[in-house]
Structure 1
Amino acid sequence: MPEATDPATPAPAAPDAAPALVRDDLAEVAEATERLLRTVAGLEPAALAEPSLLPGWTRGHVLAHLARHADSLVNLLTGARTGQDIPQYAGEDARDRGIQDGAGRPLGEQLADLRASHERFAEAAAAMPADAWSTLLRHRHGYTFPASEIPGKRLVELEYHHVDLDSGYTPAHWSAAFADHELERLAAKFRAAPEAEPVRLLVEAAERELRIGPPADRPELTVEGPVRALAAWLSGRSDGDGLQVHRDGVQLTDPRTALPKLPPMG
């Protein structure tokens, strides 16, 4: 049986000083964390050593990563608040070591770590003065972004990796707003990727069209489906479930074999 652990997480209130969109994102992060904790609390202890949907990672690796990612954002928030140059991680080796060292812990320890790291994140966000949210920070991949994007980045990690646990939470559980945001974000990212095959994306029942890849010099592929199914495919969380694929007006039989390989999310 799963270890008896209360998954409820007391989340500090979103800071009044934060911009409205930041407050909304922080509230969504708290809700997504509670959903994750409920899923993890329902796992059998042995399930943590079983494979996740991420190659080479067990469910324990996914959970350790989520906890350490929260702490890495605490580092960035602290830097934004204090004016210090605090890196997200001490280095890539330290990041990888933190995940590897934490992957094999028992269920109760994983839950406690997830809860405590979320509380540290929420407290760091609550301590931010209004002007600190505009501070430019450096992501571990090298690009800069404003501190106001941190809650949204945390939400992305929570929602994607909750799916990666392969424990009953799927892209169908994503909110329409989250799926729509990720569809727009990833389509824009892949539109600028020269290695991406040209694809026209049609959002079912929304009369909306997006494109990825460079301009087509031949009949391009058209992929149509609900917003969650499109976002799941672009994010690598689906192999085409719920999508229809057409080329030059002809529907292709199996979307799983017809869909092109996507660039890495990065």
Structure 2
Amino acid sequence: MSTAERTFTDARAWARTGTQLFVDAVSGLDEDGFAAPSALPRWTRKHLVAHVAANADALCNLVHWAATGEQRPMYASADERAAGIAKGPTLSAAELRTWLTGSAERLAEGLDRLTDDQWRHEVVTAQGRTVPATELPWMRAREACVHAVDLGTDVTFADLPDGFLAALTDEIRAKRDLAALPEGPLPEVTAWLAGRPHTLADAPQLGPWL
């Protein structure tokens, strides 16, 4: 599957799948489990959960923009984004779960309310890209699916939908401007492209992505 073949329906389904994987992955964690390191350098699971919860809140701002025409950026500033992540370790497991599930529900409800015309309205991402609102589910799918793996519980790239992995591989490959990919199972190739741990032999090391 190429990025051109990724459909809006696909992205919406993957966003729901990734969010559920993430929520389920933290559902059984106690305080020590939340405080344990994630698979991302210098981040505990609390940092990561806060990041994913804050991402949903930020995407809600873009949903509002698409629905009303009132410009509302994802984050007021880079400092606001950093503050959301830093807030994680100060919260209890219960508070983080409430934030995570509440923000995910608000985002899902906001997306469900968008009309066909509103989906076509343009918004601006945190990276400064102008995109139609139809890109919002894909943005959420990437965050939720990849970070569900980053939690370091029992979710792996092999647990993510094949179509999502193919679309993500296509996107990162283009971003990294790679002419060829190493041979191997799709989940491992995607993990390698994303700068995550993988089992591919002799694959060159890549820098972080997302």
TM-score w.r.t. structure 2 length? 0.90
Is 1:259 the counterpart of 2:166? The answer is no
Residue in 2 that maps onto 1:232: 191
Give the Cα separation in 2 of the matches to 1:225 and 1:132. Answer: 41
Aligned counterpart for 1:122 among listed residues 85, 108, 112: 108
Question: Contact conserved, 1:72 with 1:88, CA < 8 A, in 2?
Answer: yes
Question: Contact conserved, 2:65 with 2:71, CA < 8 A, in 1?
Answer: yes
Q: Which runs of 5+ in 1 are unaligned?
A: 1-19, 192-197, 202-222, 244-254
> Secondary structure of 2:183's partner?
strand
Name which structure has the greater RCO, CA cutoff 8 Å, separation 6+: 2
Give the Cα separation in 2 of the matches to 1:234 and 1:24. Answer: 21
Deviation of 1:85 after TM superposition, in Å, equals 1.2
Deviation of 1:47 after TM superposition, in Å, equals 1.4
Residue in 2 that maps onto 1:37: 23
Residue in 2 that maps onto 1:159: 145
The structure number with the bigger radius of gyration is 1
Deviations 1:74-115 (A, max 9, x none): 000110111111111111101111111133322211111111
Greater shift after overlay, 20-29 or 56-65? 20-29
TM-score w.r.t. structure 1 length? 0.72
Aligned counterpart for 1:91 among listed residues 49, 67, 77: 77
Equivalenced residues, count: 205
Deviations 1:105-155 (A, max 9, x none): 222111111110011101111221111212221111112221101001101
Give the Cα separation in 2 of the matches to 1:128 and 1:76. Answer: 11
Q: Which runs of 5+ in 2 are unaligned?
A: 1-5
User: Which has a greater percent of strand?
Assistant: 1
Deviation of 1:261 after TM superposition, in Å, equals 3.3
Q: Which amino acid aligns with 2:52?
A: L
Give the Cα separation in 2 of the matches to 1:185 and 1:135. Answer: 23
Greater shift after overlay, 137-146 or 57-66? 137-146
> Secondary structure of 1:233's partner?
helix
Question: Contact conserved, 1:36 with 1:162, CA < 8 A, in 2?
Answer: yes
User: Which has a greater percent of helix?
Assistant: 2
- The residue correspondences of 1:39-58 to structure 2 (distance < 5 A) are 39-58=25-44
Give the Cα separation in 2 of the matches to 1:83 and 1:55. Answer: 38
Give the Cα separation in 2 of the matches to 1:263 and 1:131. Answer: 39
Deviations 1:4-48 (A, max 9, x none): xxxxxxxxxxxxxxxx94344323322322222221111232111
Question: Contact conserved, 1:51 with 1:57, CA < 8 A, in 2?
Answer: yes
